Structure 1
Amino acid sequence: MKTLSLGLLLPTSTILPISKDFERGVKDGFNTHSQIIEIEIIKEFIGQGGAKQAEDASGRFFNYHDVDVVSGVLSHKVADDLAEQFKKRKIPFIVNDLGGHIPQVDKLNDYTYLNSLHLWRHAWSIGKWGVETFGKKGMYISAVYDSGYAFSQMFHEGMMAADPRAEWSFSVCPMPDAGNLSDMSVIFPFMEEYQPDFIFATFCGAETTLFLNECIARGWHKRTNIIGLPFITEPLGPLHADVTVYSTIAAQNAEMIVPERSFYYLGYETGAMLAKAAAKGGDLNTQLQELYKGLRLVGQEQALKYDESYEVIMTRNSIKAGDTGKHSEVISTLPVFTMEMQSMKSLVNDIHFGWMNPYLCI
């Protein structure tokens, strides 16, 4: 194999240059680890990453482009429904996502690979750490876009792991009119009523700025503790007072993954793995099976294995009034949810989260 033909499923986003970052990462990862094999990239754009767009694009990779392997950025909930098609055609399928949803492990197969930041595990760690650090009363606060993932569920699971007597409430902003930001005012009557020890807020960008400034106006930045996922302060506009925000960050092999470079990182990992597998020669999928360290089924008993070098780090971010930057310091490495077959299955039983979009969870 002197040329590897790679089909890329690429979504369209106005939030971040997701597809460009991912494609650049794939190229850099592949070229860094390959001197003798070239990569041919064939792109199919899948809009917001819905099931129909991804299925149609995959069909073109099967029936027209005749690629060796398919990758891209899409929710693994969409990939779940495509996995059997790739297995049937014996084409490797490398799925890259941030991990807003809990993987449905019984849909894993020998041809599907999940390269993910597993943000759902961050939510579990946040719930557990919040109870152990600040108190038993937590609150989940979100925009509609970010709430259609597994974050509230895993926040609950993490809180219960810390203390079965812990309790939590929630408030979600209504869907805004097209082109507008969420109305933050609806959140605060619920906060006043509940008086949380800490909140888990899944906002990002302009909505984080809007939310924090509303907290400042109402004095809540001094009355509770604000925790978020890696993207909560990426990017951030000027605030009206000094604020402290706690946030998680992913780390692999002790190297922290900068949030705004997440899709480049995922692409780089995909490209590097493909280069190493292709260089070994022989059947590409067989080589990928040997190199892949992510979530997978192994052995006749179909036990779950995953890369245990992945860590969730908690940081304290100090933000000065009027600044768009922050001073971050690492507080600790957090315990993470253990991915065991029965516990993973129980998490997804009878639970259906709505968003198929692979990037709204930032």
Structure 2
Amino acid sequence: MALLLVLAACAGSDTTETTEAEPTGTTAAEAPATTASPATTAAAEPFRVALIYPGTAEDLSWSNAWYDGAQAAVAANPAIALETVDLINDVDAAVAQGAAFAAEGYDFIFIAHGGLVDAAIQLAEQFPDTPVCLAPHQPESTDGQAANLCWVEIDQHHANFFTGVIAGLATETNQIAAVNGFEFPALTRQPETFYLGARCVNPDITFSQEYINSWVDTGLAKAATQALIAGGADIVMGATDSAVLGVIEGAAEAGAWAIPSYFDSYEIAPETVLTTAVHGLQFAGQDVIERAFRGELEPLITYNAVNNPGLSAAPLYANESALTADQLAIFQGIEQQVRNGEIVIPDETTGDITVGSVGSG
């Protein structure tokens, strides 16, 4: 049903770093408490947060965005101390790192890696007094899960849908493509809804994609991008971490457009980056950490294009001529329909129609 609503509406329209900072006075909205004990603001000890992610704090992609959100929480709340761990990409490594932090008495373990669900579950069960959250993930049910475990679902693919609309309007070959990290629902939904967004405005569009099974291998990403462009694609979306630099390089050398994800990447290559699928990770990262600090975590916290303004297609900047005024108006109309709920984008795992498997878009 959700897919039909989309199309019907479219037819009508491993290093660590510890940080403490000065306050800036910005906090996120409060929410009902269910899973954590509130921090004692009068305590001499800081509220210690461990953030674990697959890339690095300066990769201009997924991990960078989460790091920036966490830094915003630190800046707004001087009692919060942050430590980060880079390049964690398997369950055993995540459990080892998280267990070390929990044993040391850290107040909150936050894993920003949708492929490490089992690690979050193990840590929550092993350390029942330590809140553990993982993003992104949406379970079928939170019934029976550990009381200190929370999931953070970010409907990232809403941003990919927006950029797909732009790609469907801007393509000159009617062929678009994607270079992706690993195949699992929270990732797969991104290229699939990129394609869905393009179909929304261009019924003649064709789509191809390649999974490189890496977050950081720029050479693999570049080679995949070059092959997709050789096959006719003139716009390539990247759904991976720092490996996206290979997507941008491959597109630049071929004179094609690149659409990175997670972190506004225009400044990397202004003549190549058409837009970016910005997933609102900074907003979510700050909000989740501040919820944990206030003791107001929930079993499932959800962000989408309705309640997270950071979920967006980045501005076209100097590349605005890639769309005509009429095409820009079409995009803006569709974006508004998504944000007000008129267009419902399918979820990756729940609902009658889902976009979490390859080919589902």
Q: TM-score range by the shorter chain?
A: 0.5 to 0.7
Q: 1:57 to 1:131 in 2, by over 3 A?
A: same
Q: 1:114 to 1:158 in 2, by over 3 A?
A: farther
Q: 1:45 to 1:342 in 2, by over 3 A?
A: closer
Is residue 75 from structure 1 mapped to residue 113 from structure 2 by the alignment? yes
Q: Give the distance between the partners of 2:197 and 2:159, measured in 1 at CA.
A: 9
For residue 60 of structure 1, what is the amino acid of its counterpart? Answer: A
Is residue 59 from structure 1 mapped to residue 117 from structure 2 by the alignment? no
Number of the residue aligned with 2:288: 270
Q: Deviations over 1:117-147 (max 9, x none)?
A: 54333223333554467589442142x6578
Q: Give the distance between the partners of 1:293 and 1:147, measured in 2 at CA.
A: 23
For residue 75 of structure 2, what is the amino acid of its counterpart? Answer: D
Number of the residue aligned with 2:157: 120
Q: Give the distance between the partners of 1:274 and 1:155, measured in 2 at CA.
A: 33
Q: Find the residue that maps to 1:294 and give its secondary structure.
A: strand
Q: Give the distance between the partners of 1:116 and 1:230, measured in 2 at CA.
A: 15
Q: Give the distance between the partners of 2:197 and 2:247, measured in 1 at CA.
A: 23
Alignment of 1:24-35 (within 5 A): 24-31=71-78
Q: Give the distance between the partners of 2:100 and 2:70, measured in 1 at CA.
A: 19
Q: Deviations over 1:190-230 (max 9, x none)?
A: 5454x4475434576743552243123xxxx4xxx654435
Q: Deviations over 1:241-273 (max 9, x none)?
A: x557133335xxxxxx6xxxx55x554323432
Q: Give the distance between the partners of 1:121 and 1:347, measured in 2 at CA.
A: 11
Decide which of 288, 295, 300 is 2:297's aligned counterpart. Answer: 288
Is the contact between residue 74 and residue 95 of structure 1 (CA under 8 Å) also seen in structure 2? yes
Number of the residue aligned with 1:301: none
Q: Find the residue that maps to 2:97 and give its secondary structure.
A: helix
What is the alpha-carbon root mean square deviation over aligned residues?
4.8
- Percent identity, aligned pairs only, is 8
Number of the residue aligned with 1:245: 274
Q: 1:146 to 1:273 in 2, by over 3 A?
A: same
Decide which of 246, 257, 262 is 1:207's aligned counterpart. Answer: 246
Is the contact between residue 174 and residue 206 of structure 2 (CA under 8 Å) also seen in structure 1? yes
Unaligned runs of 5+ in 1: 32-37, 251-256, 278-283, 296-304, 321-328, 352-362
Is residue 50 from structure 1 mapped to residue 90 from structure 2 by the alignment? yes
TM-score, normalised to structure 1, is 0.57
Q: 1:174 to 1:345 in 2, by over 3 A?
A: closer
Q: Give the distance between the partners of 2:286 and 2:174, measured in 1 at CA.
A: 40
Is the contact between residue 28 and residue 268 of structure 1 (CA under 8 Å) also seen in structure 2? no
Q: Find the residue that maps to 2:306 and give its secondary structure.
A: coil
Is the contact between residue 46 and residue 57 of structure 1 (CA under 8 Å) also seen in structure 2? no
**Shift of the alpha carbon at 1:8?**
0.8
Aligned residues: 285
**Shift of the alpha carbon at 1:51?**
1.2
Q: Give the distance between the partners of 1:155 and 1:248, measured in 2 at CA.
A: 9
Unaligned runs of 5+ in 2: 1-39, 321-327, 339-343
TM-score, normalised to structure 2, is 0.57
Is residue 229 from structure 1 mapped to residue 258 from structure 2 by the alignment? no
Identify the structure with the greater strand proportion. Answer: 1
**Shift of the alpha carbon at 1:43?**
4.3
Q: Give the distance between the partners of 1:53 and 1:185, measured in 2 at CA.
A: 29
Q: 1:54 to 1:138 in 2, by over 3 A?
A: same
Is the contact between residue 9 and residue 74 of structure 1 (CA under 8 Å) also seen in structure 2? yes
